[in-house]
Structure 1
Amino acid sequence: MSKTELEGINAKQQIVELIRQNFNHPSILFWGIQNEIQISGERPELRKLVNELNELTKKEDPTRLTTMANVMFVEDEDDYNYVTDTIGYNKYFGWYNGEAGDFAGWLDGFHKKNPTVKLAISEYGAEGILQYHSSEPKIKDYSEEYHALYHETVWKIFEKRPFLWATYAWNMFDFGANIRDEGGVQGRNNKGLITYDRKIKKDAFYLYKAHWSDEKFVHITGKRFVDRTDDTIDIKVYSNCNEVNLSVNGGETTTLTSEDKIFVFENISLKEGINEVKVFAKDGNISLQDVAMFNKVDNPNESYFTPEEEGGFVANWFDMPELGDVEMEELVITDDVYSTRCTVGELFKNEETKAIVTTYLGNVEEHPMFDMMQGFTIDAMSQIASDQFSEKMLYTLNKKLSQIKKSEQ
């Protein structure tokens, strides 16, 4: 569907051709109707088209299930969730908004409100860049350690909720994305479990291998985090063995067991200079081993830190001003005034509201994603870039926007 052709003629043609060309492939279980179509904003013609595509798909192939993936800010009770046989959500708690642990509350709440809806998480993930490391990983530090910790947290939440019909880590590989500029890396999305060139498996890859592969192995995480300033460190191992042994600098062996595939050897002392860490496990008569080298240093390795850019780590969103001391008061926003509930496109049609938006968000018309942004409400964008859209920023925007009536042109 384009801005002018509102019947979805091309989309309907494509779904028919897709089904007729691939109908006899036994590996196909679902036909996908849409992915994040709501990103263009609330459009009645889109809702109509999604329903028509589902009906057309069922007519072409009544034997298979239909599905679709909602963008993260679609409400739990939205009618979109009842169109297809199954539904997926592309959710990024712990990266674009909130914390990874927020998946638990959202999943339980959604399932309680929609007990008959067959729910999947069709995308989830966080960026992890091999160059960056931290002994105290946190959201948006782009470190390999946070990337791994994120997947540990989310995995534990998903495995306890059997009502999920599927979960899909986004992504297997880092991939090109020309408009992205994050973590000091341009033109690439770094959410992969494996690097862009398919050569290096990130630590998180081995968490999934521990759960999904029958091939026994042991893997020390943080091996690329070589230079360490701490006197003691925790050494984390992923393995699908029941028992793992650790030795440091040829010393005494420590043994751990684990039921969740994660083995954490705590408070391991490091001597000055190079330390050799070995882990061992047995699979019948086969011995398994992994080795890591850690260098105890006085000063941190600056190359491990993500370069902070002005306005935050994400350079491809907005250049927002410092607000200073803003005292927030209760605002009453009625339907006849502008607010952050309006789309960017709607706000840019009015010169006064356009001036307010550009004052706080910069010249977004030159942003490579501006066409897509026009369908977003400011509130929806704040969910994706929550680190930039603070409560003070949203309050300030609403205070100024709500002074302008929609009838005033």
Structure 2
Amino acid sequence: MKDPKNQAMLPNLDAGWQPVTVPHTWNAVDAFDDVPGYYRGAGWYKIVMKTQAAWKGKVLYLQFDGANQETEVFVNGKKAGAHIGGYSRFIVPVTDLMRNEASALQTIAVKVNNRFNKDIAPLSGDFTFFGGLYRKVSLLVLNPVHFNDPDHGSSGLYISTPEVSAAKAALKVSGQLINKSAATKTLVLRNLVKDPQGQVVYSDDFSLGQISAGKRVAFTHQLPTLSNPVLWSPEQPALYTVISSIVDAQTGAVLDKLEHRTGMRWFRFDVNEGFFLNGKPYKLMGASRHQDYKGLGNAVPAALQVEDLRKIKAMGANFLRVAHYPQDQAVLDACDELGLLASLETPLVSEITESKAFTNNALRMQMEMIKQHYNHPSIIMWTYMNEILLKMQFKDAESRKKIYVENVRRLALALEKMTRRADPYRYTMIPNHHSIKTYKEAGLTDIPMVVGWNVYHGWYGGDLANFPEALDKLHAEVPGKPFMITEYGADADPRIHAYKPERFDKSVEYATRFHQTYLKAILSKPFVAGAQVWNFADFASEDREETMPHINNKGIMTIDRQAKNTYFLYCAFLSKTPYLKIGAAAQDRRSGSAMQGQDVVTQPVEVFGNVGDAELFLDGKSMGKKNFKDHIAVWNVPFQHGKNALKVVASGAARLEDQASINFNLIPADLSSKKLPFKALAISLGDPRYFEDETGNKIWLPDQAYRKGSWGYIGGVPYKKETGHQPFGSDKNIVGTALDPVFQTQRLGLEGYKLDVPNGKYEVTMYFAELMGAEMTTVLPYNLLPSYKKSAKEDRVFSVYLHGHLIANRLDLPKQFGLALAVQKKAKVIIKDNKGIYLQFKAIEGRPVLNALEVKRLAF
């Protein structure tokens, strides 16, 4: 039940509750709708359960794997505990608040609040802060003597490998236990180690002595050295199992038992030569990952999260940047099993608050992360403070800004010191946005062991062709630190295709060129320790508008995990086995307008591979052989109307092949063609791109000037917003439609539109949205380009005539409908005497506009 009033105690109401299944978020819908903002406030969960006989004499805890972000827990009306922070596990003792009688009803109530709180990170960021109990909740039923770490939500047992080589490996077990029984206990710590094949290679008992009632004790035990260990690596993720038990020395009873896996490996970073694992050089290539999923928000079942990791591994990656917060244990378990090295970070994103509470929360979050994930062999570094100077405070007061930056530096020093003390065996890293001078002057490049750079050269700024030089500059400017490219990417709306791609057109084709350039440069420079694409999959970002409102679509997969061409490119670059894939195979529909005198439309087809060359076939006919250039080969394919069967075959012994079937809707140059009778045409005005409309089962074609016998516009110019970066159109969220790209472009000052269709009955649909005057409501800090200029309002009133008949009278879009609202106007017409369709736009005030046009033939 949502609680906008943020009541201190559980509302005493029977009404207002909804049945839900945990994991759950209350923002799975409202974070994606057309209403600005999403619910950020309190919500209550409650469950009533009966006392179980098995609980008698036990100690009970409630374990929350993730609740965002302020949580209070009540048992039978009394407060049991609380937690601050949305991305770490926490454990609440509840034994003393439970009713003891048999079958007694126990009411558990949990209040969660995802409001903005200046003392809790993250304060802001390019992702949605979903609320709710979005990870698993468990009741732990333990013996009074058990492993315990009440402050950090961990199991209470920590395994390290302080020395590892090919010849030997040292294992150390440490942790805490507590005796909550009423008597002193003489205890033994029993350790058993199994090799990756499940064979016991070591076992012993270590005396813990007498532990008084109510006492918590810490222990450390060095196990004997293992000879000739099986080493953990991406190619062979060999896992040893360590089983640690607390045993009652007098009775021999096992009071508690924990089972953890570990891996034997050693690693180092080198400033000039990159990263080494087990003495061998590795380029740390992979992806950053957010945890949300289409239709689920962040309440994602573990099985789906593990499938993400399988897809990352399948593309040839060896590294995962878990960003921008700790994620489900299942994610790191999968890294261990699959052989994905990893970094893990806390959610200090973009800015800090200069308060003691914020600092304490940040330090506690870091320690929770380390303690809870300490035993994962896949983790090689702990990370904090992503782009922490991006949203710089006090920019207009230089002296105050210096104080703020100094406080950021002090917090970084405190986090670094604590992290190195808690785990001396792993590296530390701070990822920074691409402003070298800013971070050097702040001293932040001196603090961590590795520096991360989030680089969008060729997207938010800079020339894509100069990216290799940008890497050289990073190496030269901070010469004493190893570095990785922790983010890079370009928006890729999988519905948009451009055969002459350009920056910010949001096409898959531009994103493919972007990633191709980055991968080639990164892999060629040994001083770049690695790189993680931003992002593995599209993810929720409520403040974003653009072609897919509320979604950051820089992913190489969609938010529901459908592969884009960019994913295929990574498979081609990184796979160690032969790979061949026809691009956009999921785009089984294409369309295009034929040139005069032709009955085919020639369009490029990209094939991704890591083989020498390949041959493409269209309906069994060879289109010739092509060599792969930086893992892409392109054929210009003459598509005919209807089904087109594509097959690509790699040369050589491997004989790899891939196939795709393209259903092509060909629009003839002569719309009156009897060979291919006209049925329908959808046009996106002021737009050079193709847009795949899945809901309407059609392709919107780029606009063109009118040609006799064909179709096109008469007069006008494409709309271009003065943003300093967009080549055309607006990036405003268009309310009332999921087809934002269709409404985000238009022609201004249009005089007419002609389609020389044959005689018949037609439905004409005009699509409008007023774009001018609809400036950004939020200036997003990740956009490093010059500030948005306000789009000046233009007074426009116009009428539209179809063959001289008025079909839209005195349209005043902002006055009648509002800014950036999808509007449709339909009309039906019978064409006789081969006059075709002629729309006239008559200006009354200002310039007429049209965003898109659709024509359907209703009768023959």
Letter in 2 for 1:302: I
Q: Please say if 1:51 is aligned against 2:451.
A: no
**Residues 386 and 148 from structure 1, CA distance in 2 versus in 1: closer, same or farther, beyond 3 angstroms?**
farther
**Residues 362 and 258 from structure 1, CA distance in 2 versus in 1: closer, same or farther, beyond 3 angstroms?**
closer
Letter in 2 for 1:315: K
Matches within 5 A, 1:218-257: 218-223=580-585, 224=587, 226-229=590-593, 231-252=601-622, 254-257=624-627
Distance 1:271 1:215 in 2: 35
Give secondary structure in 2 for the equivalent of 1:38.
coil
**Residues 232 and 253 from structure 1, CA distance in 2 versus in 1: closer, same or farther, beyond 3 angstroms?**
closer
**Residues 137 and 253 from structure 1, CA distance in 2 versus in 1: closer, same or farther, beyond 3 angstroms?**
closer
Task: Assess if the C-alpha contact under 8 Å between 1:246 and 1:278 holds in 2.
Answer: yes
Q: Please say if 1:24 is aligned against 2:375.
A: yes
Structure 1 match to 2:807? none
Q: Please say if 1:205 is aligned against 2:567.
A: yes
Structure 1 match to 2:557? 194
Give secondary structure in 1 for the equivalent of 2:544.
strand
Give secondary structure in 1 for the equivalent of 2:571.
helix
Deviating beyond 6 angstroms after TM superposition, the runs of 4 or more aligned structure 1 residues are: 306-309, 361-364
Letter in 2 for 1:314: D
Give secondary structure in 1 for the equivalent of 2:543.
strand
Task: Assess if the C-alpha contact under 8 Å between 1:277 and 1:291 holds in 2.
Answer: yes
**Residues 45 and 209 from structure 1, CA distance in 2 versus in 1: closer, same or farther, beyond 3 angstroms?**
same
How far did 1:386 drift?
Answer: 4.2
Task: Assess if the C-alpha contact under 8 Å between 1:172 and 1:194 holds in 2.
Answer: yes
Distance 2:510 2:774 in 1: 31
Matches within 5 A, 1:352-391: 367=778, 384-386=784-786, 388=788
The superposition leaves residues 207-258 of structure 1 with CA deviations (integer Å, 9 ceiling, x where unpaired) of: 1111223454422224537123475443321013333111223323522333
Task: Assess if the C-alpha contact under 8 Å between 1:282 and 1:288 holds in 2.
Answer: no
Which of 289, 302, 308 is the matching residue for 2:683?
A: 302
- State which drifts further: 279-288 or 88-97: 279-288
How far did 1:152 drift?
Answer: 1.1
Give secondary structure in 1 for the equivalent of 2:384.
strand
Structure 2 match to 1:138? 502
Distance 2:541 2:364 in 1: 28
Distance 1:52 1:179 in 2: 32
- State which drifts further: 253-262 or 91-100: 253-262
Structure 2 match to 1:329? none
Q: Please say if 1:290 is aligned against 2:659.
A: yes
Structure 1 match to 2:519? 155
Distance 1:47 1:31 in 2: 17
Letter in 2 for 1:290: Q
Structure 1 match to 2:631? 261
How far did 1:60 drift?
Answer: 1.5
Which of 9, 25, 47 is the matching residue for 2:360?
A: 9
Structure 2 match to 1:164? 528
Letter in 1 for 2:508: E
Give secondary structure in 1 for the equivalent of 2:407.
helix
**Residues 262 and 72 from structure 1, CA distance in 2 versus in 1: closer, same or farther, beyond 3 angstroms?**
same
How far did 1:100 drift?
Answer: 2.5
Task: Assess if the C-alpha contact under 8 Å between 2:382 and 2:427 holds in 1.
Answer: yes
Letter in 1 for 2:448: T
**Residues 65 and 13 from structure 1, CA distance in 2 versus in 1: closer, same or farther, beyond 3 angstroms?**
same
Task: Assess if the C-alpha contact under 8 Å between 1:309 and 1:315 holds in 2.
Answer: no
Task: Assess if the C-alpha contact under 8 Å between 1:72 and 1:89 holds in 2.
Answer: yes
Task: Assess if the C-alpha contact under 8 Å between 1:30 and 1:65 holds in 2.
Answer: yes
Distance 2:546 2:539 in 1: 13
**Residues 196 and 87 from structure 1, CA distance in 2 versus in 1: closer, same or farther, beyond 3 angstroms?**
same
The superposition leaves residues 66-98 of structure 1 with CA deviations (integer Å, 9 ceiling, x where unpaired) of: 101112334274421121110111111222122
Structure 1 match to 2:796? none
Distance 1:301 1:131 in 2: 15
Letter in 1 for 2:355: E
Root mean square deviation of aligned Cα: 3.2
**Residues 197 and 15 from structure 1, CA distance in 2 versus in 1: closer, same or farther, beyond 3 angstroms?**
same
Letter in 2 for 1:55: K
Structure 2 match to 1:123? 487
Distance 1:263 1:171 in 2: 25
Task: Assess if the C-alpha contact under 8 Å between 1:217 and 1:288 holds in 2.
Answer: no
Letter in 2 for 1:68: I
**Residues 51 and 301 from structure 1, CA distance in 2 versus in 1: closer, same or farther, beyond 3 angstroms?**
farther
Percent sequence identity over aligned pairs: 27
Give secondary structure in 1 for the equivalent of 2:385.
strand
Structure 2 match to 1:314? 731
- State which drifts further: 268-277 or 27-36: 268-277
Q: Which has the higher contact order (CA 8 A, sep 6+)?
A: 1
Q: Count residues in correspondence.
A: 331
Whose strand proportion is higher, 1 or 2?
2
Distance 2:544 2:732 in 1: 8
Structure 1 match to 2:458? 94
Which of 646, 649, 664 is the matching residue for 1:277?
A: 646
- State which drifts further: 127-136 or 271-280: 271-280
Give secondary structure in 2 for the equivalent of 1:137.
coil
Distance 2:775 2:682 in 1: 37
Structure 1 match to 2:545? 181
**Residues 276 and 11 from structure 1, CA distance in 2 versus in 1: closer, same or farther, beyond 3 angstroms?**
same
Task: Assess if the C-alpha contact under 8 Å between 2:645 and 2:659 holds in 1.
Answer: no
Task: Assess if the C-alpha contact under 8 Å between 1:88 and 1:120 holds in 2.
Answer: yes
Distance 1:222 1:248 in 2: 16
In structure 1, list runs of 5 or more residues that go unmatched.
317-360, 374-380, 391-409
Task: Assess if the C-alpha contact under 8 Å between 1:220 and 1:292 holds in 2.
Answer: no
Whose helix proportion is higher, 1 or 2?
1
Which of 56, 70, 75 is the matching residue for 2:432?
A: 70
**Residues 285 and 15 from structure 1, CA distance in 2 versus in 1: closer, same or farther, beyond 3 angstroms?**
closer
- State which drifts further: 106-115 or 137-146: 106-115
Letter in 1 for 2:432: N
**Residues 3 and 257 from structure 1, CA distance in 2 versus in 1: closer, same or farther, beyond 3 angstroms?**
closer
Distance 2:719 2:491 in 1: 15
Give secondary structure in 2 for the equivalent of 1:83.
coil
**Residues 18 and 291 from structure 1, CA distance in 2 versus in 1: closer, same or farther, beyond 3 angstroms?**
closer
Give secondary structure in 2 for the equivalent of 1:15.
helix
Distance 1:88 1:268 in 2: 42
Q: Using structure 2 for the length normalisation, give the TM-score.
A: 0.35
Letter in 2 for 1:5: S
- State which drifts further: 185-194 or 281-290: 281-290
Letter in 1 for 2:491: E
Q: Using structure 1 for the length normalisation, give the TM-score.
A: 0.71
The superposition leaves residues 139-183 of structure 1 with CA deviations (integer Å, 9 ceiling, x where unpaired) of: 111111112121111111211111111101011111111111012
Structure 1 match to 2:740? none
Task: Assess if the C-alpha contact under 8 Å between 2:522 and 2:530 holds in 1.
Answer: no
